[in-house]
Structure 1
Amino acid sequence: QFQLRIRQLGRLLPDSLHYLSLGEIGYHAHEGYIYLDSIRISPLHDGPEVANAYDIAVPHLYINGFDPLELLQQQQLHLDAVQLRNPRIFTRSQSEEVKRGLDSLARANLYELIEAYLQELKIDKLILLGGELMLQQQQQAPEEAFRAREVFVMVRGFVLDSAARAQPGKLFYADDIDVGMDASNYSFVLPDSTYMLQVGHIGLSTGDSRVLVSDLHLSPIAGSQAGLAPLSWEVEVPQLQLSGLNPKEWYLDGRLNLQQLRLQKPSILMRHQQLQPAFERNPYQVYAFFRQHFSQFSIADLLIDRASFREIRHPADTLRGLQLEQLSIRALGVKPDSSDFLSPDHLFYSRDVRISVKNYDFEVDELLYKGHVKELGLHTASKELYARGLEFVPQLDQATFFARYGYARDHLEFRLPDVKVERLDLDALFQNRSFLAGKLLLQGLDIQALKDKHFPEKPDKRPPMPQQVIRELPFALRLDTVEIADGKVFFQQKVPGLKKNARFEVSEMYGRITHINNDSISLIAARPVAVFNAQARLMQTGQLDITFRFPLADTSNAYEFEGRVSRMNLDEFNPLLEQTAFVFVTDGVMDKASFQVKADYLYRKKKAIYVYRGKMRMHYHDLRLQVIDKKSMFEEGQYDAKKMASFFANTFVRKNNPGASGRFLRVGKIYYKRELNKGIAGHWVQAVISGVRSSVGLQNKDQRERLIDKLRKSRQKRKLEQFQTEDAQISVEKE
């Protein structure tokens, strides 16, 4: 049992500027530990004239595992642990002195300091707990100094021996060094005095070469150059992590090569401080910054995870600022150089960039509609752009929607589960604002529309034709192929006088569009024709094959289409016939049908009218119709009038096509005059239905009236008379 205790020690340090004092030092041989209390290194003169001053206070220091025999006999010192509790470290020095000191420490072989006394020094654990740190440069005011609280340092496997002199090994001769501190009271001004940087907690681990920073905040300094720049930034990062950092390589050689830089849930605010914000295509100052501070810089994996981005535009700007939540960016192989920042093969100085935005909402069309996309992404290496869960729906219910707009328009619901763009030309996209791609895939397209004809059409409404839309886009567009898989279109229309909505449905649609191009040179030289081939289920029963051809260079917007329909019951057309011909089918089967339509201008009496003309070949049998009086069909007492009109219809329509002999096929005439205030989909339906009416014998109004006159003069006159009443006569003449 040996104990040694010495109190009140002190001595002048070799620099003759600082004094070392110890309140008490003790040694317990049986337990093998040394303790030191009230350690203090203080300057003899504490004033601004002192270039390098240190004020260090350590209340308690413990050394465990001290063996004096090992030290005396073998010149080896192996300690289990060295622990400093609640130290307070204050330094004030010139920046040049700090740099020289760090350079000397980084390049020094620490073994040279002990080799005259020890062959080996080992410390299993060196621990600093609850410390306080203040680092002040001589030209700084005390409030500008770096301050940190709750400083924690853990050094594991520290070894100094002759082998360490030849091969220094890991940083500071230790297997691992963990450092942590609370720096929330410190603000750092960037060298150009434009931005201020604040951090919360800083952590470092040399074992896995990792640096962890929490609560990082970058903000512009009021009145600085940043406050006057076209753009200013404000960034908050709850957690930033560096992996693969080699501090010695970075400090000595200026090489900063990271395995990963990860920003967790950052918040980014971009503020436009001018009406026309300046956007630099090639910001060389980014590369210049790295060249100024690093001889080499690279990041193998840069990850910005679930960021929020908000853009605030100038008050006089009419454009709305962009706002994104759950924005993620992953850049692989980041290595800044003098190339274009937006070079497609090296976008953001990276080998590959993957950008995704989740749960993005937007509003359009006078706030009547809201859009949502579950995920939007871009891969630069594979040149792919994708969207998942895209939908576009009204914000109002149907009644409020129509009443608010005041005119007949589509209450549209648009859903697209999966969209993918392949072979996207990133160079054209980022530098020329053009959209050039090899393929656009639309998977699961679902369009549902409802139109209320109780409201009038808007007088100045002029829906554009397809070629016109493509030509007048504000950007260059080229799509080699557009593919539609498993699409669906369901259209309904409320018609005055009809109890049920008129409807048209296409499902299980698969199609391809080729040669979409609005380049002015291509339109003149190649005169491309966009072709749309599609197969779909019509009204849930028949198989529809249809082809459209759109000459994109034709400024008259002429085009043509043709199609075939497989066997289906004719009563499937009732939702359309009730609206357009005011009849519905009670019986009949269509075996097959084909049609050819051309849409262009027809000149009559020096006046050009846009019409749809063509032929309908429809094979059907056993057709029977019933007429609808749209003014009185729901009024009681009008059954006889409907029955009489239905009799007329079934008398003059052709029940079988071809006829009974099967030799003569009646070819229907397609003729429909374009209504300028209606959309193109309505034109297609009306044109085809005109061919159906013509094929079965339901012609235009004049032809029907002539047929009724013939009936009155025929032997069927007696059958006619038994149904005649004054109201019925009026109804018959009108129909």
Structure 2
Amino acid sequence: MVRRTLPYDTSEDRGSGPNALPTSPRRPRLHRLILVAVLPTVALPIHQPPPPKRPTQHRWLWWLLGIGLVLGGLLLAASQLLDPWLRRQAEQQVARQSQGRYLLRIGSLDTKLWQGTVHLRNIRLRTAAGTSPDTASLPRLQLRLGRLDVVGVGLVALLRRNLVPIDSIGLDSLNLHLAALPKTASSQPLHVRLPVAGIRLRSLAVRHTQVRYGQLLHPTVQVGQSTVVLRDVLLNAAGASDSGRLGYAAAVAGQVRGLVVQVPGHTLRLVRGQVSSETGKLTLDSAVVHPGTPISAQRTAAIRVQTVVPHLALTGLDVAGLARRRFRADSLRLTLTHLALTLPATPPPPLHELLAAYFTEFRLGHMLFRNETMRLDGLDQAPTLRNVRLQATDVQVLPRNHSTLYYARAWAVQTGRMRATLDAPYYTLAWQALRADTRTQQLHLTNLGLTPTMDVVKMSRRKKHAVSRIVVRLSELAVAGLNYHKALRDHQLIARQLTLRNGLVHTTGDGRFAQNPKQSVATPEALAALPFQISIDRVRIRRGTVNMVYRSPRDPQPGTLSINQLAVTLRNFSNDPRRMSAAHPLTGEASGRLQNQCAARLSLRANLLDPTGRHTLSGVFTTASLGILNPMTIPTRGVAFRSGTVQRIRFQMRLDQQQAVGTMWGEYTDLKLQLLNKNNKAGLLKRVETSLINGIAVRDNNPRKPGKPLKEGQILSRRELRYSVFTLWRQGLVSGALNSVGIPKKIARNLSEGE
């Protein structure tokens, strides 16, 4: 129940107070009835909320709404007029700022101020006709752009000319032709020339771009299609000085297709390439390089290169460092299917001098180079190689770094078959496989061969003197402990051991030609005259074979002689004065079988730096029939051994540039000779001469009887410097053998020296 307060309370004294109601003793009951009847209609309205009235205090909202509608209409009308005005202003500003050199045409321009976006379509920019490229400070160009979208421009910062934030700028379907670049460029960086304090751009993308530079029909650079995306671009002084940025951008990514570049003397074609600074990876696929002049042996002023590159991958690339002339990358993998080079007429500068024009620093962690075929022209050797695999570790291109070898800490090389011309055009050098590693100091060659390109007659005629036609076959050549740093940097061949296995040397000579007027280089003293130092602790030859064929003037049938199962060990093979001396000479032993029947052992001792060529040779021949020499003596000397058996032959020789002297001890029995005529027949006259020699000069047995002293043979033969030292060894053995069988010393010497 709601308690209502009556305006006049009947319970109180009605006669007191100024508002006291008059009382009427005559009608009290009627007054109460009136109050009770009137109370519901009078008391309730007094205490309820007043009835709602129209809010006159919010009328300003209607006014604001009206004003907004009017302004919106005005802005809408202004926007319809703003876009054409901005388009005209842009076209006029380009013409004004370039002093009439450029003409700009914009197909459409659409702005949304509240969104901070600008969209342009069908943009055309070209150099005005009549502009001279010699005096223009701007490049000559023709540009067509399908669309340009600018999103999220900070209008307040733009009006205040502060650092303007922009969400993105996108360019699509760009076609650019640069006819020529300006001769002079602005020395001020881009951020200084901006009308605002700077620009902070979240992303910039240029897609579906075609570029041509140079003449219209024969461009120097042509890009079929490319895309470039830049992230977090800061165009101000801070962005320019940030070493972690590339061209104001924190990250750059791009790809190109159909690239053609004309450089002096060459054309480069690239099917596809892409690069990303975030991943630090650069890849090129299907690149081809063609020279303007075909590859040939004829050298020109510049190098000529022809190659096909299926793939190139560069990882860990510091893209930002390239702008600061700093190249750093983790690895480079380069694969070629074909490479042909013609070296320039003048040797180029060293690599560090060439790269110094582009980089102040060049570092590469690891490089792997593969090539299926390689040909190098411009050299007499003209080598060709297959299946080349080249690895380099810790590459640093520095002018002087003694810890590196050809700018790398370590190299590992593998090749397949190699062919080259040696002593052009007379010989071809080849091997089946090569392995070299600078860390393990190993060098290994398999199936090495030296093959003449012509027969001995043609070779002698071309050289105009008698030559030895040499064929070499070697199943394995191994070098251990090879100091590559000394070999390639200091031109010193220093190794612990050189091993030759399963070698064959086949020599062919023709005595019908004049002798070589030059001194032979196959001598001990010639080693001292080498233009480089050589020091090999041990040289080992295993399972070797030597075949000698000689065609004398007297007989078209050549003589033959062979040494089989040859094993040689040489120690201290050096021309280094610190290692070679009379107290520490070269020493060596050799063993083999003469004509594969007579076992022989030789010992050598030589000071390779002795200018007189002084050295000693000693040896032993064991049991054999003297008839094994007939294949050589009959066609070359007209002498046959009818009988004779050797039990043992020992000899000692001292040799120098003048002669060979020494002693031979030959133990043999039943020696009988037969002299032959030019037809290798025992004619009547030759039988008489044979009887006289066998009866008077030749000693049948040595010693003559068991228990008798052995008759020594004196070795004496003059040296001809035009012949090799091996010829002198043979002369000494022949003179000692002839003298030991009874031929007088002087006759034996003359016979040994005969050609």
TM-score, normalised relative to structure 2: 0.62
Distance 1:219 1:659, change over 3 A: closer
Number of the residue aligned with 1:301: 367
**Helix, strand or coil for the counterpart of 1:47?**
strand
Match of 1:472 among 529, 542, 549: 529
Number of the residue aligned with 2:391: 331
**Helix, strand or coil for the counterpart of 1:686?**
helix
In 2, Cα distance between the equivalents of 1:358 and 1:538?
36
Matches within 5 A, 1:150-549: 182-184=257-259, 186-187=260-261, 198-202=269-273, 211-217=283-289, 234=305, 236-242=307-313, 244=315, 257-265=329-337, 267=339, 269=341, 271-272=343-344, 274=346, 277=347, 279-280=349-350, 283=352, 286=355, 289-291=358-360, 297-306=363-372, 308-310=374-376, 312=378, 320=380, 324-326=384-386, 328-336=388-396, 338=398, 340=400, 343=402, 345-356=403-414, 358-365=416-423, 367-376=425-434, 378-458=436-516, 460-464=517-521, 466-498=523-555, 500-519=557-576, 528-549=584-605
Number of the residue aligned with 2:631: 575
**Counterpart residue type for residue 336 of structure 1:** Q
Contact 2:545–2:566 at 8 Å: present in 1 too?
yes
Match of 2:677 among 622, 630, 635: 630
**Helix, strand or coil for the counterpart of 1:468?**
helix
Residue ranges of structure 2 left out of the alignment (5+ in a row): 1-79, 88-105, 111-117, 128-137, 149-171, 179-185, 230-252, 294-299, 750-755
Distance 1:42 1:148, change over 3 A: farther
1:402 deviation in Å?
Answer: 4.1
1:430 deviation in Å?
Answer: 3.1
1:337 deviation in Å?
Answer: 5.9
Number of the residue aligned with 2:223: 147
Number of the residue aligned with 1:133: 209
Number of the residue aligned with 1:614: 662
Distance 1:104 1:218, change over 3 A: farther
In 2, Cα distance between the equivalents of 1:651 and 1:321?
58
RMSD over aligned CA atoms reads 5.1
**Counterpart residue type for residue 286 of structure 1:** L
Number of the residue aligned with 1:586: 642
In 2, Cα distance between the equivalents of 1:391 and 1:521?
34
In 2, Cα distance between the equivalents of 1:427 and 1:550?
28
In 1, Cα distance between the equivalents of 2:386 and 2:353?
29
Aligned residues: 564
1:702 deviation in Å?
Answer: 6.8
Match of 1:105 among 203, 220, 224: 203
1:434 deviation in Å?
Answer: 3.0
In 2, Cα distance between the equivalents of 1:234 and 1:279?
17
Contact 1:41–1:54 at 8 Å: present in 2 too?
no
**Helix, strand or coil for the counterpart of 2:628?**
helix
In 2, Cα distance between the equivalents of 1:421 and 1:181?
47
Contact 1:481–1:515 at 8 Å: present in 2 too?
yes
Contact 2:625–2:644 at 8 Å: present in 1 too?
yes
In 2, Cα distance between the equivalents of 1:232 and 1:497?
54
1:470 deviation in Å?
Answer: 0.7
Distance 1:337 1:475, change over 3 A: closer
Distance 1:251 1:96, change over 3 A: farther
In 1, Cα distance between the equivalents of 2:424 and 2:430?
16
**Helix, strand or coil for the counterpart of 1:105?**
strand
1:599 deviation in Å?
Answer: 1.6
In 2, Cα distance between the equivalents of 1:393 and 1:361?
11
In 2, Cα distance between the equivalents of 1:102 and 1:419?
65
1:465 deviation in Å?
Answer: 5.9
In 2, Cα distance between the equivalents of 1:468 and 1:369?
25
Contact 2:284–2:313 at 8 Å: present in 1 too?
yes
Contact 1:467–1:557 at 8 Å: present in 2 too?
yes
Moved more, 482-491 or 363-372: 363-372
In 2, Cα distance between the equivalents of 1:285 and 1:463?
42
Distance 1:240 1:591, change over 3 A: same
Contact 1:103–1:252 at 8 Å: present in 2 too?
no
In 1, Cα distance between the equivalents of 2:684 and 2:217?
104
From the CA coordinates, give the structure whose radius of gyration is larger. Answer: 2
Tell me, yes or no, if structure 1 residue 693 matches structure 2 residue 738: yes
Partner deviation per Cα, 1:26-67 (whole Å, 9 max, x = no partner) = xxxxxxxxxxxxxx9743753369999984479xxxxxxxxx
In 2, Cα distance between the equivalents of 1:268 and 1:476?
33
In 2, Cα distance between the equivalents of 1:251 and 1:471?
50
**Counterpart residue type for residue 134 of structure 1:** Q
1:328 deviation in Å?
Answer: 2.9
Distance 1:575 1:698, change over 3 A: farther
Contact 1:151–1:182 at 8 Å: present in 2 too?
no
Distance 1:194 1:264, change over 3 A: closer
1:453 deviation in Å?
Answer: 2.2
In 2, Cα distance between the equivalents of 1:48 and 1:687?
92
In 2, Cα distance between the equivalents of 1:390 and 1:685?
28
Number of the residue aligned with 1:69: none
**Helix, strand or coil for the counterpart of 1:200?**
strand
Residue ranges of structure 1 left out of the alignment (5+ in a row): 1-10, 23-39, 59-86, 109-130, 154-177, 222-228, 313-318, 602-609, 705-735
Contact 1:230–1:278 at 8 Å: present in 2 too?
no
1:540 deviation in Å?
Answer: 0.5
Contact 2:318–2:329 at 8 Å: present in 1 too?
no
Matches within 5 A, 1:46-65: 46-47=124-125, 55-56=145-146
Match of 1:682 among 727, 734, 754: 727
TM-score, normalised relative to structure 1: 0.63
In 2, Cα distance between the equivalents of 1:662 and 1:267?
75
1:505 deviation in Å?
Answer: 1.3
Contact 1:355–1:378 at 8 Å: present in 2 too?
yes
